[in-house]
Amino acid sequence: MEPSRSRFTRSLHDWSSLVDYHVFYFCDAQISSFSPLIPSNAPQAIRSDVYITTTVTVATSSRTLISALWGFNNETVGAASVNSTGGTSAILNPGSIYASRIDISVGIFASDQFTTTLTIRELLASEDGSTVSISYIDLVNASLQLNIKECPSSLPYGVVITSSSRPYRYQASGTFSCPKGDLFYSNGTALPSGDTTCLANAKWSGQDNLQCWSAPGVMLNGDFNVIEFDDITLTCDYDDTVIPSGTFSIYYFDNVGYTLKKVTSGH
């Protein structure tokens, strides 16, 4: 039941014929597995091109034309194929609404495997949640849901990011700043420069554990009018919303320091 070479040639120029070809002429070979799609569904920044790669394993060395169908949002956008002599090829579906934004590449066929990559150009934030799949005949063998995000405009602990690029997309330049205080990492290291770049994983370079640190507003309270030999009681009140949170106070009396742990909020 191996199809003729002439039928194969004609099918490459007619997308509907290629689909029919899948349905009726796969007789003595099949795709046995797809590797997990790469990247995973981890967040990705808005970018000009998104590359999604999978490895296709063919179950038998006795092959006719074997094709893996790429899908985007439940629409078949193209195919990656290997023929009976081991040659590989890619074909796009010209009738797809995504045709102008899709590219498909296929690597060499070796050890019963070939690698194929789907490229989606100009992926938009509005397409967050879109589904990419790769299948054989009518079976969807592997799929992932795209997680498309802007890099954030603010971070925990008061850090804000400004950038002239909107949306905040892959490779956009930005600047970290603090409305109050200075930029430090949680280990106490000061940030040498506020310059940053939006990365492919929808995070700003250097953003992890970055915080705005500022000195608290401190007020020493108590009765400062004391009689000789009487006790004096003082409290150190400060804003406990600053980062990092205060854990102790140091009182100086006659140039001698006394360290006390914080026992109640704000004291």
DSSP 56-90: EEES-SS-S-EEEEEEETTEEEEEEEE-TTS-EEE
Query: Where in the sequence of the chain do the CATH 2.60.40.10 domains occur?
Result: 5-149
Q: How confident is the model at residue 6 (pLDDT cuts 50, 70, 90)?
A: very low
Residue type, 18: L
> Distance (Å, rounded) from C-alpha 204 to C-alpha 151?
6
Predicted confidence band of residue 174 (pLDDT cuts 50, 70, 90): very high
Only one residue has tokens 């742990």, namely: 261
- In this structure, the dihedral spanned by the alpha carbons of residues 208, 209, 211 and 216, taken in order and rounded to 10 degrees, is 180
Distance CA 189, CA 197 (A): 20
Q: Are 67 and 80 in contact (CB under 8 A)?
A: yes
pLDDT tens per residue across span 120-147: 887 777 888 888 888 876 555 778 888 7
Question: What is the rounded distance in angstroms from the CA atom of residue 72 to the CA atom of residue 56?
Answer: 18
Which tokens in the block code for residue 10?
């004609």
- The mean pLDDT of 228-247, rounded to a whole number, is 73
Output the six-digit token pair for 156.
């925990």
pLDDT digits (tens, 9 = 90+) for 28-67: 345 666 665 655 556 666 666 677 778 777 765 555 677 8
Q: Both tokens of residue 71?
A: 């899908």
Q: Residue 202 and residue 208: Cα distance in Å, rounded?
A: 12
pLDDT for the residue numbered 267? 42
Q: Which superfamily is assigned to 5-149 in CATH? A: Immunoglobulins (2.60.40.10)
Q: Are 143 and 123 in contact (CB under 8 A)?
A: no
pLDDT in tens, 176-188: 999 888 999 988 8
Question: What residue has token string 């009681």?
Answer: 233
Q: pTM score, two decimals? A: 0.57
- For residue 222, pLDDT over 90 is answered with no
Q: Which helix (H) or strand (E) holds 103?
A: strand 102-106
Maximum distance among all alpha carbons in the chain?
112
Helices and strands, counts by H and E, the chain: 2, 20
Token readout for 238 is 């400060």
Distances (CA, A) of 77 to 68, 71, 82: 11, 5, 17
User: Of all helices (H) and strands (E), which one includes residue 19?
Assistant: helix 15-25
Encode pLDDT of 193-216 as tens digits: 999 999 888 899 999 999 998 777
Q: CA–CA separation, 267 vs 260, rounded Å? A: 10
